[in-house]
Amino acid sequence: MSQAEIFKDTAEKIFAACDPNVTGFDSAMWSAVEESGFDRVLMPEDDGGAGDAFAEAVAVAMPLGRHSVGVPLVETMVANWSLSRAKLKVEDGPKAFVVVETPFGAPRDVVIPWAPTAQQIVVLHRDAAGQARLGTLPKGAGSDGTSLAGEPLTLLSGGSELKLASAVPFAEGDLAFALAALLKSAAMAGGMATALDLSVEYANSRKQFGRRIAAFQAVQHMVVSIASEKSAVDAAVEFGTNQISERPLWAAALAKSRASEAAGQVCANAHQLHGAIGFTREYALHRVTRRLWSWRDEFGSEAYWQQKIGEAVLQPGRDVWTGIVEGVL
């Protein structure tokens, strides 16, 4: 058993015990996360981590999404890694991590998931030339609210200046951004696995016109669509995990664009299959679909990353077909 598989099995056991009735930040589960050391897994070994254990972090993110755990683990893992690489102070506790690509004071809203409950709000600012700097945002900036998933967030209105503390140039900004997108894609893959399990279970138990609805061809098509979308995302995340160190933005583009695109199809088919019961609070489906709808825009939507893919593929002098054959594209 590989180290990544060990991490995944451990995370599965821990996250399976989460309370489904908790809304927003799950403080009890966060205590379990800190005890397990998952929040520091990407940090150097001297700081209690496993180094650049990207595959292990992906393995932890999948069960996180599968069980809809209300903790900012993806954000904290990337924030801790980034702060450590930038030689900035890494405080204990949950963190928010956000990527801003507009100039300071630009007229665009900035949404920061988990900021109201974060010990540190870590901001990666990337300019048009690809230069990056990393810093922290003081607590209390912006207005607080909740996402569609019920997770706390802070909104900085367009035109607000990001007054970062301890901001430093950050040469590994591309990798940090890509890592956040990849881990969010892995969490989405986990959520899709739960949507598929719930759909199969419901189709095999619900009866209509004297037989299980799984016997109807239209329902079978919906289940197959969910399964195929999930499999495509699994493959994209696996590819991204293998490529993240050498080609971070390309890895992130393929994984996140596929995950965000699949989220719409998976949620639509799962809810259509379940009918009205899928929208009730008592049933578990909404816990994953609301998160998938919310996460599809975090760390880049499908439109954002698909544009990046197009720009990379259509660069002058690039032989697209050779790239596909050789596995470069």
Whether 51 has a pLDDT exceeding 90, the answer reads: no
- Give me the mean pLDDT over the 150-157 stretch: 90
**Across all residues in the chain, what is the average pLDDT?**
90
CA distance 221 to 202: 14
| Cβ density class 206-241: b for 16+ within 10 Å, e for less | eeeeeeebbeeeebeebbebbbebbebbbebbebbb
Whether 107 has a pLDDT exceeding 60, the answer reads: no
Count how many Cα atoms sit within 13 Å of the Cα of residue 135 in the half-sphere of its side chain.
Answer: 16
Q: What is the pLDDT of residue 266?
A: 97
182/127: higher pLDDT: 182
What is the DSSP secondary structure assignment for residue 67, as one 8-state letter?
T
Report in angstroms the alpha-carbon separations of 229 from 187, 188, 194, 204, 286: 15, 11, 13, 20, 18
Whether 17 has a pLDDT exceeding 70, the answer reads: yes
pLDDT-wise least confident of 32-36, 202-206, 227-231: 202-206
**Band of pLDDT at residue 44, cut at 50, 70 and 90:** confident
Whether 52 has a pLDDT exceeding 90, the answer reads: no
Q: What is the pLDDT of residue 328?
A: 58
- Give me the mean pLDDT over the 256-263 stretch: 97
Task: Identify the CATH assignment for 174-317 out of 3.40.50.1220, 1.20.140.10, 2.40.50.140, 3.40.50.80.
Answer: 1.20.140.10
319/124: higher pLDDT: 124
The boundaries of every CATH 1.20.140.10 domain in the chain are 174-317
- Give me the mean pLDDT over the 322-326 stretch: 65
Whether 153 has a pLDDT exceeding 90, the answer reads: yes
Q: What is the pLDDT of residue 62?
A: 97
The boundaries of every CATH 1.10.540.10 domain in the chain are 3-171
Q: Tens digit of pLDDT for each residue in 283-319?
A: 889 999 999 999 999 999 999 999 988 888 887 776 7
90/282: higher pLDDT: 90
Q: For residue 112, what are the β-bridge partners? A: 154
- Give me the mean pLDDT over the 241-245 stretch: 94
Domain 3-171 listed as CATH 3.40.50.720 = no
